[in-house]
Structure 1
Amino acid sequence: MEKSLVRPSFVTQFNCIGSECEDSCCYGWNIYIDKQSYKKTLANSELKVLAQKALKKVKKSEDAWAKAVLNQEGACGFLDDKQLCQIHAKAGESLLSHTCKTYPRMSHMKDGDRYESLSLSCPEAARLILLKPNAFHFERMTVSHKNQFEVTPLWAQKAHDYSIQLLLNEKLEISHSLTAIGILMKTVESAKQLVQNSSSIDTMFQQLLTLADNGELKHHVASFNQDTELQKMHAFTSIHLWLNTNKPVRGRARFEVINQAVCRVVDEEGNFSVKQLNNAWEQHALPALEKHQDLFNRYLFYYFYHMNFPQVDKLSPTEAFRLMMVDYFMLRSYLAAIAADKQGLTEHNIIMCFQVYHTSRQHKANFSKYVVDLLDKCGFDELPAILTLMN
């Protein structure tokens, strides 16, 4: 059976920068070793003695047969004094465990096709995805396999393709694109629940394009003027506190830089508010991002591709949209806080915000469910309210 392997250029251009990495994946988190790699490492004459100290057998599964023992600084025991992997240096890449060999490379399957990607929890991956020119040139190769696969529902295919088209529509500002995608997800949800036919998604998409062309979509966005400052305040502080609680060792110091910047976003009376974050965004972040005006368009394009939006964590289409809006809101808030604290944003600051947020996010079990439940409690259950997270 002939299928496709889809690979964006940010994947083909990626190379680990090793000891130059500002937040090495060889520090501060559980690195599990599969059974085969564990046995091969112990059998290697140059690594055997070191492996007996640097690996601990846990037998959780074939894929998690052992884990790396971290030293007092949180470093993997196989790192040398130059912070380079001794397994790779002495035995080559073939002896690395599956985790070490593949991270930050990831992929997902859709209709038998394989879509390769990178995790934003890696600083170098984030740098390529968010800042590298031509990062989103895609190549498609024909491959053969005999694996069975589930067919993507028609509603999901259309929702994914149309969302990307709306995001990339040059006639639309990002706020208008997100508004259109939010409106579309309401129709998609009805089609998923069989309340409407999937052809209604096509009809709504065409209507949204017409609204974009005649300028009515812009007026529609302006009509969403609900005052949700208190709800946004509660949502931000709750999510930030949750991410800041029981953080993984990896990225902890970098997260604290963001946390301290957030704590310093206060008014003259010393009170923190979302209004102050918005002021920081307007006064400090936006001017600093003048050279990176496509930053969030790139991020959201990556997001839709990487997460296979809207089929995200078994959420409904409207829930997946609300989750994405929270990710957008939190990242914008962190950039605003850092920009206010540093009186601007360097590329290092930008990468830190995206990478640290996604590192913390991916290490929180049930993050998606927590966010959706929190949004319900905060009153962000309808589209007009959730769209206020853009400003």
Structure 2
Amino acid sequence: MKEITVTEPAFVTRFSCSGSACRDHCCKGWKITLDKTTVKKYLASKDATIRTIAQDHIILLKKNNSHWGEIKLPSALGNCPYLDEDRLCRVQKTLGAKALSHTCSSFPRAHHTYKNEVRNSLSLACPEVTSRILNDPDAMALSEKTIIQQTFNTAPLFPAQQKLLNLFCLSLINHANSSTEAALYALIKFVMYAQKFAKIDDVALGELEQVYAALLEQLQTGVLAQELMNIAPDSKVKTSLVLQMQNYFRSLPLNRGSVILDHYIQCLLRVLTAEEGVSMEQKVSDIESSLARCLQADEQQKNWAFRNLILY
């Protein structure tokens, strides 16, 4: 028997789907694959609605037992035909959670599997997940448990060097007692220094440990916060980055998040173009000032939304 360490943040442990109360829903824009057993279950269901939808909307592919069919959506971003008027899944309501496809039962869960450990997470594509990360102060608090299974996982070990680097980075952010921005600045400095090494071996780790200790001291004494304040802002560079970001996101192929993402890009464009006689650089600066006020209020209330987002 083998011991497997399972690590997950608090927001994973506490997560539960908000169902019809969700501001969005995840039953759209998927390629929903069905295994052979699930296809047969839907086609032979005693529930007439489940059976009829299956007959009309399941495409039989028979690639293999795990990919026997797919749900046909009305369009690339269309809703699943099993979504009912309450924005709930007819399959789960009628047949139970065990009848869901792997696609539907796994989202928004994500598992990073290594030989002797598993790291659990959840996707920010789910509004409920994002809400928990932004609103729960200890959402990113890690917990570990050990499970016993017959064999090790068929995956490589998580390299000890990478694990130590990860701990260095987490520690820098978690020491952000007064300024998350300063902690992010320390993290950027640390990562840039780490990138100088062709490989992370024991020699590199020894040097990086010294850099980490120096950055941590500068963070705790306020040196980095002051250094960050002394950096002269370049509004033109920031404006250029904002415009490039918009162009990048608009160039992406359509996916489940395209409609929401485009909504916020349009909001940003309206802000940048709404007022005549004010330069775009000034508007970007105004947006940045608003963000700074939000972050300050967040930190004063000890919610640490920005910190949690970086830790994620």
Structure 1-normalised TM-score? 0.68
Aligned pairs (5 A) from 1:162-177: 162-171=168-177, 173-177=179-183
- 2:224 equivalent in structure 1: 217
Letter in 2 for 1:120: L
Determine whether 1:276 maps to 2:283.
Answer: yes
1:63 and 1:290 map into 2 onto residues whose CA distance is 50
**CA positional deviation for 1:75:** 1.4
Task: Verify the 8 A CA contact 1:155 1:201 in the aligned structure 2.
Answer: no
2:60 and 2:277 map into 1 onto residues whose CA distance is 51
Determine whether 1:69 maps to 2:63.
Answer: no
- 2:101 equivalent in structure 1: 97
Q: 1:111 to 1:198 in 2, by over 3 A?
A: farther
Pick from 160, 170, 182 the counterpart of residue 188 of structure 2. Answer: 182
1:258 and 1:214 map into 2 onto residues whose CA distance is 38
Identity score, percent = 26
Query: Could you say what secondary structure the match of 2:209 adopts?
Result: helix
Aligned pairs (5 A) from 1:296-307: 296-302=306-312
**CA positional deviation for 1:247:** 5.4
Counting strand residues as a fraction of each chain, which structure ranks higher? 2
Determine whether 1:51 maps to 2:54.
Answer: yes
Aligned pairs (5 A) from 1:247-258: 248=254, 250-258=256-264
Task: Verify the 8 A CA contact 2:176 2:183 in the aligned structure 1.
Answer: no
Determine whether 1:118 maps to 2:128.
Answer: no
Q: 1:185 to 1:295 in 2, by over 3 A?
A: same
2:223 and 2:54 map into 1 onto residues whose CA distance is 65
- What do residues 265-292 of structure 1 show as CA deviations (whole Å, max 9, x unaligned)? 237436763541221231x444455653
**CA positional deviation for 1:5:** 1.4
Higher relative contact order (CA 8 A, sep 6+): 2
Task: Verify the 8 A CA contact 1:8 1:136 in the aligned structure 2.
Answer: yes
After the TM superposition, which of the residue ranges 213-222 and 75-84 deviates more from structure 2?
213-222
Q: 1:54 to 1:148 in 2, by over 3 A?
A: closer
1:291 and 1:127 map into 2 onto residues whose CA distance is 17
Determine whether 1:295 maps to 2:305.
Answer: yes
Aligned pairs (5 A) from 1:16-55: 16-46=17-47, 47-55=50-58
Query: Could you say what secondary structure the match of 1:82 adopts?
Result: coil
Q: 1:85 to 1:148 in 2, by over 3 A?
A: closer
Pick from 152, 155, 159 the counterpart of residue 153 of structure 1. Answer: 159
Pick from 197, 203, 207 the counterpart of residue 204 of structure 2. Answer: 197
Determine whether 1:109 maps to 2:113.
Answer: yes
Between structure 1 and structure 2, the one with the greater Rg is 2
Structure 2-normalised TM-score? 0.83
Query: Could you say what secondary structure the match of 2:119 adopts?
Result: strand
Query: Could you say what secondary structure the match of 1:244 adopts?
Result: helix
**CA positional deviation for 1:168:** 0.9
Q: 1:42 to 1:265 in 2, by over 3 A?
A: same
Q: 1:184 to 1:253 in 2, by over 3 A?
A: closer
Q: Which runs of 5+ in 2 are unaligned?
A: none
1:296 and 1:63 map into 2 onto residues whose CA distance is 40
Letter in 1 for 2:83: L
Q: How many residues align?
A: 300
Letter in 2 for 1:207: A
**CA positional deviation for 1:202:** 1.1
**CA positional deviation for 1:40:** 2.9
- 1:232 equivalent in structure 2: 238
**CA positional deviation for 1:4:** 1.2
